[in-house]
Amino acid sequence: MSQGSRAAAVLWIGVIFSLGIMYRSSRHPQPPQRRLLPPLPAGPKATRTQPPPPPPRTTSLEATELLKLLKLIEWPAPQEAAVPFQHSTSPTQSQYRLLHPNANYSVGGTLLVRLEARDHRRQPKPYGGDLFRAKLHSPAQKAGVVGSVQDHRNGTYTLAFPLLWAGDVAVSVRLIHSSEAVGILRHIRDSQPSTVAFLGYFLEAGKPGPEEVTECNVHPLPDPATGCEYTDSNTGEHWFCVRPQRFPCSALVHHSAGRYKPVVAANESAFLSGNVTDQIVPDGHLPPLHVLMGAQQVVASPVQRCVPGLEPRDPPGFYYNDLWVSLSCMGRSFSTPALALACLKGKIIHMIGDSTLRQWWEYLLGFIPSLKRIDLHVTYQSGPLLAVEMEQGLVLRWRAHGNPLRTSKTLVADLHYTANELDGLGGGPDMVVVFTLWAHFTTFPIELYVQRLQTVRRAVAKLLSRSPGTTVLIKSANTGYKSVYGSDWLSLQLDRILREMFAGMPVVIIDAWAMTACHYLPDNIHPGKVIVRNEVDVFLSYVCPQPA
Q: What pLDDT digit, counting tens, does each position of 433-453 carry?
A: 999 999 999 999 999 999 999
Strands of the sheet with 238-242, listed across from one edge: 227-231, 238-242, 212-217, 196-202, 252-260, 410-411
- Are 427 and 467 contacting, i.e. CB atoms less than 8 angstroms apart? yes
Range of the domain at 172: 85-178+275-292
Residue 262 lies in a domain: no
> If you count them, how many residues does the chain have?
548
The residue among 236, 259, 292 that closes a domain is: 292
Residue 503, CA atoms < 13 Å, CB-side half-sphere? 11
| CATH number of the domain within which 105 lies | 2.60.40.10
- Are 235 and 420 contacting, i.e. CB atoms less than 8 angstroms apart? yes
Residue 222 lies in a domain: no
Q: What is the DSSP letter of 413?
A: G
Residue 538's nearest CA partner among 382, 388, 343 is 343
Whether residues 332 and 446 share a domain: the answer is yes
| Mean pLDDT along residues 344-373 | 98
Q: Could you tell me whether strands 238-242 and 131-138 are parallel, antiparallel, or unpaired per DSSP bridges? A: unpaired
The whole-number pLDDT of residue 361 equals 99
Whether residues 406 and 284 share a domain: the answer is no
Residue 255 lies in a domain: no
| Mean pLDDT along residues 90-97 | 97
Whether residues 359 and 485 share a domain: the answer is yes
Whether residues 328 and 403 share a domain: the answer is yes
* Mean of per-residue pLDDT scores for the chain: 89
- Are 287 and 222 contacting, i.e. CB atoms less than 8 angstroms apart? no
Q: Could you tell me whether strands 252-260 and 196-202 are parallel, antiparallel, or unpaired per DSSP bridges? A: antiparallel
Residue 295: pLDDT band by 50, 70, 90 thresholds?
confident
How far apart, in Å, do the first and last CA atoms of the chain sit? 40
Residue 461 lies in a domain: yes
- Using the predicted structure, report yes or no on whether residue 83 has a pLDDT greater than 70: yes
Whether residues 287 and 390 share a domain: the answer is no
Task: Report the 3 state secondary structure along 39-61.
Answer: CCCCCCCCCCCCCCCCCCCCCHH
Whether residues 362 and 506 share a domain: the answer is yes
Total domains, the chain: 2
Residue 462 lies in a domain: yes
Whether residues 286 and 361 share a domain: the answer is no
16-75, pLDDT tens digit by residue? Answer: 333 343 333 333 333 333 222 223 223 323 222 333 444 455 677 788 999 999 999 999
Whether residues 280 and 329 share a domain: the answer is no
Whether residues 283 and 392 share a domain: the answer is no
Q: CA–CA separation, 99 vs 108, rounded Å? A: 17
Residue 156 lies in a domain: yes
Whether residues 285 and 403 share a domain: the answer is no
Higher pLDDT, residue 15 or 528: 528
Residue type, 215: E
Find out whether the peptide bond into 527 is cis, omega within 30 degrees of 0.
no
Task: Report the 3 state secondary structure along 341-408.
Answer: HHHHCCCEEEEEECHHHHHHHHHHHHHCCCCEEECCCCCCCCCCEEEEECCCCEEEEEEECCCCCCCC
Residue 103: pLDDT band by 50, 70, 90 thresholds?
confident
- Helices 529-543 and 355-367: crossing angle in degrees, nearest 10, is 80
The whole-number pLDDT of residue 58 equals 61
| CATH number of the domain within which 396 lies | 3.40.50.1110
- Helices 529-543 and 337-344: crossing angle in degrees, nearest 10, is 40
| Mean pLDDT along residues 144-161 | 98
Q: CA–CA separation, 16 vs 12, rounded Å? A: 6
Q: CA–CA separation, 533 vs 175, rounded Å? A: 28
Residue 207 lies in a domain: no
247-268, pLDDT tens digit by residue? Answer: 999 999 999 999 999 999 999 9
Residue 463's nearest CA partner among 477, 455, 503, 416 is 455
367-425, pLDDT tens digit by residue? Answer: 999 999 999 999 999 999 999 999 999 999 999 999 999 999 999 999 999 999 999 99
Higher pLDDT, residue 79 or 271: 271
Residue 510 lies in a domain: yes
Q: What is the DSSP letter of 244?
A: P
Whether residues 501 and 363 share a domain: the answer is yes
Q: CA–CA separation, 106 vs 104, rounded Å? A: 7
Whether residues 288 and 358 share a domain: the answer is no
